[in-house]
Chain A
């Protein structure tokens, strides 16, 4: 499985390199400056601050298209650079983490083939930041149908699931099923890596568990609000700190006390309190009102406001940063850098789109994860 182990100096080197890169990401003051710029100024500003793609694409594109395309390409380039920079088993681990992008890309191509979406449109949304290169993705895109696409993915780690799940001729809902299966598999394998006996990988376990918890809770709220299914277990990823059975129990409950107990035990209250504090809620009343607010939206089958979810992303980012500080020479500083980079791209896009739609700077600020 692993070609060679890596030495401590290599670890120190790569982790230090990532920490330095993380320091070079945009700071809050720079975001605040950009909030008052127009699109041309933003593209020039980010072009002068590490986003070389602006210069490359500037001849053919302009405005928001230029910025979005440049941001996507830059993110993909960053992922591939990190993948190439990491040695040995770390590279294996990074491949495992970045294979999430491959799932998105492959399914976008397959959906395009199935629903006859023009290849040019699909090509625009591909983000070659995973293990499948841009050349490979273009080759898949040029194929005739999904049967050929699957046949050309024999070497891909998810090939058995792909071949097993997808039905030809296509049946409605197959892609969603397949996508759910692939993502579940992705998280389960990452969890298994964290649980493995290899010491250097153990450090990622708290991060994976936290990530799984957030996904499960998010999906629990989403399904409660948007679906009539009674059994949530097929949508729960095992391995989190919160047990699947506990989530299923609370999913069907109509009892406030049961729900409040779950919220307190699952430590959701802390996350939500932090989020509400971020949204300028008075800390004292926040603490008192959090459970009531969550219960109210839960009982009315409403999802939490999406701004709360932006807040949860903020809390999640801080959590991974704190884990990276706790384990400075592990895979976590690399993951922390990648997550921060991803949110930098998200923030820049939010600013650019916000300015495009002439949103108020204070309004745009609510969408920034920093």
Chain B
């Protein structure tokens, strides 16, 4: 579907079209810059998130390994008892920040790491493996929170890059060429009109001169 459907070959229309071209070019330039900025941000952020994902997988594997060890050493009853005893709660603070106008989530865990003596289980009927499991799971929760915030940021950046990219391409391949084309057509049409007018006036002038001579 053409971007420009109706055109009147007037001077004001031509000026308006030129103004539109200027705006479109400026928007293209700005969006291109934003697109490049977002890609730069994304490409510098993605390796960090990848590292965080690897880190998360390592921590998850460690937590699982320790959990198996916990089941082997303590048994499911003792582990359930210790888990039921834990009273420390993790608070999650959720707010947002803007990256190139993109609203991204910032997730922060508060009180993730708990002090051994305030966890809620007794020191006398639990063993070292329980501490290790709790520590590892706290590390895992920390990694999950960090990764989830950054992964979400990355996804939103990606969506925005796609959106801006579409617009840049639309401006580049459709809007600006069509306006330029319309301006060319209008200019040519207006030139043609001017030539016709010039010819008509010449004919009128010649007619008058002929009448005056007779």
Residues of A at under 8 Å CB distance from B?
68, 71-72, 100, 103-104, 107-108, 111-112, 115, 117, 121, 124-125, 127, 172-173, 175-176, 179-180, 183-184, 187, 215, 218-219, 221-223, 225-229, 235, 303-304, 306, 309-310, 346, 349-350, 353-354, 357, 359, 364, 367
Contact = CB atoms under 8 A, between A and B. Distances in A.
Interface in B97-125: 115-125
Given A104-B81, A183-B124, A222-B123, A235 B117 contact: yes
B116 A117 contact: no
Interface string B23-59: 0000000000000000000000000000000000000
A34 to B, nearest CB: 13
A309 B123 contact: no
B159 interface: no
B127 A359 contact: no
B123 A303 contact: no
Contact of A350 (B72, B116, B118, B131): B72
Contacts of A172: 87, 120
A30 to B, nearest CB: 18
Given A222-B128, A226-B131, A125 B81 contact: yes
A175 B85 contact: yes
B207 interface: no
Contact of B77 (A107, A125, A215, A221): A125
B211 interface: no
A367 B116 CA distance: 24
B131 A353 contact: no
Mostly, the A contact residues are helix
Contact of B84 (A111, A127, A221, A357): A111
Interface string B120-143: 111111011101100100000000
B125 to A, nearest CB: 6
B68 interface: yes
B193 interface: no
B3 interface: no
Contacts of B72: 349-350, 353-354, 359, 364, 367
B122 A180 contact: yes
5 nearest A-B pairs in the assembled complex, by CB-CB distance: A226-B116, A179-B122, A183-B124, A350-B72, A125-B77
B202 interface: no
A75 to B, nearest CB: 10
A137 to B, nearest CB: 14
Nearest to A219: B123
Contact of A227 (B116, B122, B129): B116
Given A222-B131, A226-B131, A229-B117, A179 B73 contact: no
Nearest to A186: B124
B75 A306 contact: no
B111 to A, nearest CB: 12
A176 B119 contact: yes
Contacts, number: 119
B84 A176 contact: no
Contacts of B135: 226
A225 B134 CA distance: 13
Given A225-B131, A353-B72, A180 B124 contact: yes
Interface of B: 68-69, 71-73, 75-78, 80-81, 84-85, 87, 115-125, 127-129, 131-132, 135
Contacts of B73: 306, 310, 346, 350, 367
A306 B130 CA distance: 9
Contacts of A180: 122-124
A172 B124 CA distance: 19
Contacts of A235: 117, 123
Contacts of A184: 124
A107 B117 CA distance: 17
A176 B121 contact: yes
B115 A173 contact: no
A111 B85 contact: yes
A318 B80 CA distance: 29
Given A218-B127, A364-B72, A367-B72, 15 more contacts: A71-B75, A103-B125, A111-B85, A124-B80, A125-B80, A172-B87, A173-B118, A176-B119, A176-B121, A223-B117, A226-B135, A227-B115, A306-B127, A350-B72, A367-B73
A353 B128 contact: no
B62 to A, nearest CB: 13
Contacts of A121: 80
A170 to B, nearest CB: 10
Contacts of B131: 222, 225-226, 303
B125 A226 contact: no
Contact of A303 (B75, B117, B128): B128
B133 to A, nearest CB: 9
A306 B128 contact: yes
A176 B120 contact: yes
Contacts of B85: 107, 111, 175-176, 179
Contacts of A350: 72-73
A364 B132 CA distance: 18
A173 B77 CA distance: 21
B125 A183 contact: yes
Contacts of B77: 68, 72, 124-125, 127
